[in-house]
Structure 1
């Protein structure tokens, strides 16, 4: 069920879709052309696509979706799915949310575009339900370097340190105190200045857009649930099974997801193009939309 609201945000009205008894926010623009669904990364929201949605809407019907637990979407308690009460914050959950969104709101197969952890979510959706995806575009896909299966390849301090930190953060008081330190304007700005190669792209507007959902009830629990999640799929697991073509864009100056490791994805036949973006960090869609938008438009329209 989709209900239009009167709320205006960055000039595009938000809408609400009810999924598993939870309100999910999204935006849509464009009246013709192929359907495109854009999915944000960890700690972000649909507003991370505010520089892309209006441009792509000139040739496509574009949707920007909040994953449950983030942005303006509901932030229910972590736990086995109980509609209207709680969800598990896993890629299987987010993948199913994207599948149901495509079927109930978009109502046709779509090109799925994502950044960071959103890339895993859209690939999970496509692998589990091939009928909903015409193609995927991955922007600085998370490598999940702290995944349980990755730890053997990490330096000893990361192999030991990450599980120890996860155990400490499971203690409610410590975990919430840690979250409260992160959910501050100055901390968010420092994180963004590390993630973005172009420091001018880190604006007060961007900080406010990312910080606002952190004040919602349940935001700390979502954050802590995901920081303790070291299981689930790795990107190569999903790329190997991907039933549709993939485009990969990668900011060369990403401090968290090294492009040298990302280039290894070229070996998968589903990856039709791998495009490095010089002088760009972890969030190319927001930091360098003038480069990203034409690439996405050409790729989507070129798929026929």
Structure 2
């Protein structure tokens, strides 16, 4: 699926001594251009349980004009899944910042979906002028106002049930084993894609196979541990962000109230933020890739 006009490379880069899987595409024309003539590089960052494969319809298109990279966050895809790491936003932010510095070496546009969207925003806020732009596709994360203490019997009951789950290794294992079954993966994807045409065996296998790796279960537990590192709230990151911001919304996302989320974003995002609303679910880059590629390229060309 990669265009013949681009060159695709696998990377053997490591972060904190752990192997990180990544792909890069360099347009042939870039070999004779200066960095200024090339324009910004692009780094694609997947969501929870996904990998570089989730950018299968974006990499070859973006790579025709721009240097484009995609990586597997530690704990996912073909990257290492070591025990002992505190999996969460701070770890992945540091991984992304290091990758841009060591592997790309020039201003980069960070593009992230879901969990990867939060990581892209946190990285962009930390990188200052080295972040040429940030693009969020149905990004995960919380606002400061979401953390206000909720009182009442129901809130206490939910907290108690969650605590029991987090302390019960058997329950955790049962849920994990169910989540990585091909039938469960496909059913979940069919729920979060409005148009399920691209929910195919390749995508299901790309999610299932890494879940069989040693350490995958520990990653699952760590990510959902409320005592783990959550990173800064979105409003704080937006206030620190200096780079241009593009919001690409799958407006029929069943995992989040996208219209409501958009309203909250508007209260905190910079005034020059560009917003594009798409008739899609949680993963618009894979569900309606032509629309996402077009919107992304148009925005980059105007920077």
Please report the TM-score for the alignment, with normalisation by the length of structure 1.
Answer: 0.86
Residues 207-265 of structure 1: CA deviation (Å, up to 9, x unaligned):
11111100100001101111113643232221122121100010111011212223221
Structure that is richer in helix per residue = 2
Is contact 2:186-2:204 (8 Å) kept? Answer: yes
Work out which of the residue numbers 191, 194, 210 in structure 1 matches 2:191: 194
**Structure having the higher Rg:** 2
* Unmatched segments (≥5 aa) in structure 2: 1-6, 31-37
Q: How far off is 1:46 after superposition?
A: 1.0
Pairing 1:116-195 to 2, within 5 Å after superposition? 116-144=114-142, 149=147, 152=150, 160-161=157-158, 164-195=161-192
Work out which of the residue numbers 37, 44, 48 in structure 2 matches 1:38: 44
Q: Match for residue 261 of structure 2?
A: 262
Work out which of the residue numbers 88, 91, 94 in structure 1 matches 2:89: 91
Q: How far off is 1:159 after superposition?
A: 6.6
Q: Match for residue 248 of structure 1?
A: 247
Q: Match for residue 4 of structure 1?
A: none
Residues 64-106 of structure 1: CA deviation (Å, up to 9, x unaligned):
01110000010011xxxxxxxx321121111010000000000
Q: How far off is 1:108 after superposition?
A: 1.0
Is contact 2:176-2:220 (8 Å) kept? Answer: yes
Work out which of the residue numbers 201, 205, 225 in structure 1 matches 2:202: 205
User: Over aligned residue pairs, what C-alpha RMSD do you find?
Assistant: 2.3
Q: How far off is 1:61 after superposition?
A: 0.2
Pairing 1:19-58 to 2, within 5 Å after superposition? 19-31=15-27, 32=30, 33=38, 34-58=40-64
* Unmatched segments (≥5 aa) in structure 1: 1-10, 78-85
Q: How far off is 1:162 after superposition?
A: 5.8
Residues 105 and 234 of structure 1, relative CA distance in 2, 3 Å threshold = same
SS in 2 for 1:87: coil
Is contact 2:8-2:26 (8 Å) kept? Answer: no
Q: How far off is 1:123 after superposition?
A: 1.3
Q: Does 1:108 align with 2:114?
A: no
Residues 186-217 of structure 1: CA deviation (Å, up to 9, x unaligned):
11111111111012221111111111100100
Instruction: State the alpha-carbon separation in 1 of the partners of residues 100 and 193 from structure 2.
Output: 31
SS in 2 for 1:253: coil
Is contact 2:129-2:243 (8 Å) kept? Answer: no
Instruction: State the alpha-carbon separation in 2 of the partners of residues 163 and 302 from structure 1.
Output: 50
Q: Match for residue 35 of structure 2?
A: none
Residues 132 and 174 of structure 1, relative CA distance in 2, 3 Å threshold = same
